Structure 1
């Protein structure tokens, strides 16, 4: 059996398992609330790994390893930014948001944002938030489809457009069938595969490089001085920009609807406490593994043309076709575990937040599924007809959502009322600045794009929130402890 046949059989079997999970989960959906939040019965393992894998898409498996190949040890600031964002989310936001969403019967992040708004202001906030979510996720999901297309195209010599359509359809099928339960369980399987790969592949690469001693010696021999520097050989403002730009990635974490919804769906406090530990371990394993992989790849194949292919090149070099097929599935797992969650949240913005489909439970469920189909078609069209660098699209969507929604998440979870006009102005400011700075030339470390929109949005929120500053919120959520 040749290599391509082994890879094809492995991937087909893997996709059939995912579709089977979708069929199982479909029986658990009685209405669109179940479809989007799984009855708030998410356990610790599923919550933790589905969160982690949804937060860390193909840019972690391919982007971080590729960045380590080029940037050397300075890539650590990108990893630390992602890690600190996760810590704040799980240890400060998580329990507060879980209890707050139960008290107020909130299903989506938009429900949370419009909590104190009424009338015209409520409609404006819902419209603004829904448009930002759908717009950002269409481009975010398009980037994931493009990543799947790159993988299928490189492996099976398919055309790029056919590869993108195939990847998109697979993701759509099990998302349609099972909703939140299917997405969460499949993300757990995919996240586990990603973690196993982040241990196995870097370990094999380090052994091949002569152990950690050989790796360090190899970097000293073949690496440039910049690659051995924490600031890539820079000093002063440029060095500060690189550090702050990497750490600034963490700010995007706080406004991601597909991540925050995991906290809203958690079963109880015990599940959250257990999930924290699992998430921290997963992040440490995957990010350290991909950084080591990139460094080892630089020692072993320093003339590599495209750094983001170091993952695939080392699989080819170090493993048999069968093991290589499983590891290749890890990349597709990273892609799908992000895309499916985002499709579900974007659909919830259309059906639940905007009220498309009415109040009848079964009708809302079918309209939810129709919304997923429409969003998949839009994302495929963007990926095919408007190609762009994957990391660039992901960074834009991540920053825009974090800047638009993150400040309000923090402010409301402190237990204070937030004036609706301040929420609307903050959302619009954060998103608009993210768009403008994305289109402008990059600063060192992209620090302006990753940091300025979030803090500008927070400043607008605080300056307009006279009512919220004066009146602490009543109710049990005001005193929720971490």
Structure 2
């Protein structure tokens, strides 16, 4: 889109109006923040629609619109093995974790999921768990936030030819304004709006792509003629063992869902059991609609465009090809919706980790909300600096953060949900092992198969480098699960707030 294009004014007006609405929500919600629980959990008053749509938008974000569509575009039908694992994550969090997590955290007034994880430990060990978990959330979420800022920058660069730095700063400033003002309420309400926007685009753009490709039959015929046979094969024509590793690895992305503090916060904040059950139906329906839409967009895009330089830009390429120029503002708004719906939730969760888990709030008694806002602003500034200095694809950077935190916290939360009450030292060890093992396999996988030699080490390097990457997402869960279920208290230690 060129500066002199008549549609540019319409696009800019659309974006300005959209951002003003988000800021207005932040201003409105600012009056609801009276204490720490209000700022980080919205007073535990989320209804079904807000909880369900805000959860869905937060868990998927730009990752599904840009990263997932690009992944299917590159690997074809076999990439869809990822989807059942992601949907299973929705089911597990809402129907398995949800009842116990909501009830216990409300009864005991827990503010973060770290409080829930550490409940079976003694006071001194509980403090160590809070410090460790809070530190890992901060470290991991900074990378996650940086990935989302990078996605926003790509949107502005591709549509308006804005410089990279200005693009990153523009998205960060708007998110920070309404997040600082309104806290969890503002974040949840804006995420609801953004989730609806993403769902609308996930229907319209893939439908337009399918029509342009000549319908399902013609699209399939075009792909059969232009792509290798492996592209349309459900196994990708991989051998038995490589296929199992690939399918299990991509499906295991859903495991990361079970350890994400910003997602658990939605379950902690939902107002009652009826809202939780209805919220699950809403979130699951959204997930089916959006993931199906992005898969269809990827295949249609491959049939229409052939090879493109950047697969993660497929969304923009298809929008520019299929939509009138005046609708570019809606498309950009959809991407910004995806970015903001995760970044704002991550900022709230990271701020809670620093202010509550790391006890920064205690430095300034009765100034809980102020400290939380200062921490949020500081995290945002650091993430922007990281975005501008580190080069990584949206898909890889998000998946590392997602997998590392999932393996660190997921086994512990699962044990607590099942009333296992693991000993404090076992919780500490499980968190360290889950995170460290993920980092190990992520780093090892970056070496790539081309650097691998023979023997066992060479085989491991080759397996770690395949797209499914089962080592990074599955293996880190094994030892933590053994620890938390093998070393348990005879009964839960009575909750003693330290």
TM-score range for the pair, normalised by the shorter chain length: over 0.9
Cα distance, 1:118 vs structure 2: 2.9
How far apart, CA to CA, are the structure 2 residues paired with 1:223 and 1:320?
29
Partner Cα distance (2:423, 2:39) in 1: 31
Distance 1:51 1:32 in 2: 21
**Which of 98, 102, 122 in structure 1 is aligned with 2:102?**
98
SS at match of 1:358: helix
Cα displacement (A) at 1:411: 0.6
Q: How does the TM-score come out when normalised to structure 2?
A: 0.92
Under a length normalisation based on structure 1, what TM-score does the superposition of the two structures give?
Answer: 0.95
Which residue does 1:471 correspond to in 2?
491
Contact 1:190 1:330 in 2 (8 A): yes
Is the 8 Å Cα contact of residues 62 and 151 (structure 2) preserved in structure 1? Answer: yes
Partner of 1:294: 298
Secondary structure of the structure 1 residue equivalent to 2:83: helix
- Equivalenced residue count is 472
Once residues 184 and 332 of structure 1 are traced to their aligned partners in structure 2, the CA distance between those partners, rounded to angstroms, is 15
- The corresponding residue for 2:170 is 166
Matched with 1:179 is 183
Maintained 8 Å contact 2:120/2:492: no
**1:244 has 2:244 as partner:** no
Is 2:9 aligned against 1:5? yes
Runs of 4+ with >6 A deviation: 472-475
Write the distance in 2 (CA, Å) between the matches of 1:377 and 1:42.
29
Q: 1:452 aligns with which of 461, 464, 475?
A: 475
Matched, 1:263 2:267: yes
Q: 1:86 aligns with which of 83, 90, 103?
A: 90
| Aligned counterpart for 1:400 among listed residues 396, 400, 404 | 404
User: Is the 2:41–2:184 Cα contact (8 Å) retained in structure 1?
Assistant: yes
Kept in 1: contact 2:67–2:394 (CA 8 A): no
The root-mean-square deviation of aligned C-alpha atoms, in Å, is 1.6
Are 2:81 and 2:250, in contact at CA under 8 Å, matched by a contact in 1?
yes
Matched, 1:26 2:46: no
- 5+ residue gaps, structure 2: 446-463
Q: Distance in 2 between matches of 1:472 and 1:170?
A: 44
Aligned-pair CA distance for 1:443: 3.6
Distance of 2:254 and 2:382 partners within structure 1: 28
Q: CA deviation at 1:83?
A: 1.0
CA shift, 1:362, in A, is: 4.9
Where in structure 2 are the equivalents of 1:190-339 lying within 5 Å? 190-339=194-343
2-side partners of 1:158 and 1:28: how far apart?
36
Paired residues for 1:287-436 under 5 Å: 287-358=291-362, 362-436=366-440
Structure 1: tracts of 5 or more residues without a match: 476-482
- Quote the offset at 1:117 in angstroms: 2.4
Of 458, 461, 470, the residue aligned with 2:484 is 461
| 3-state secondary structure, aligned to 1:179 | helix
Deviations 1:255-283 (A, max 9, x none): 00000010000010110111111111100
Superposed CA deviations along residues 370-393 of structure 1, whole A, max 9, x for unmatched, are 001000011011111222222111
Q: Give the deviation of 1:80 after TM superposition.
A: 1.7
Rounded Cα–Cα distance in structure 1 between residues aligned with 2:115 and 2:375: 19
Aligned residue in 1 for 2:454: none
**Which shows bigger deviation, 382-391 or 28-37?**
382-391
2:461 is matched with which residue? none
1:462 to partner: Cα distance: 2.6
Name the counterpart of 2:451: none
Aligned residue in 1 for 2:20:
16
1:415, CA displacement in angstroms? 1.9
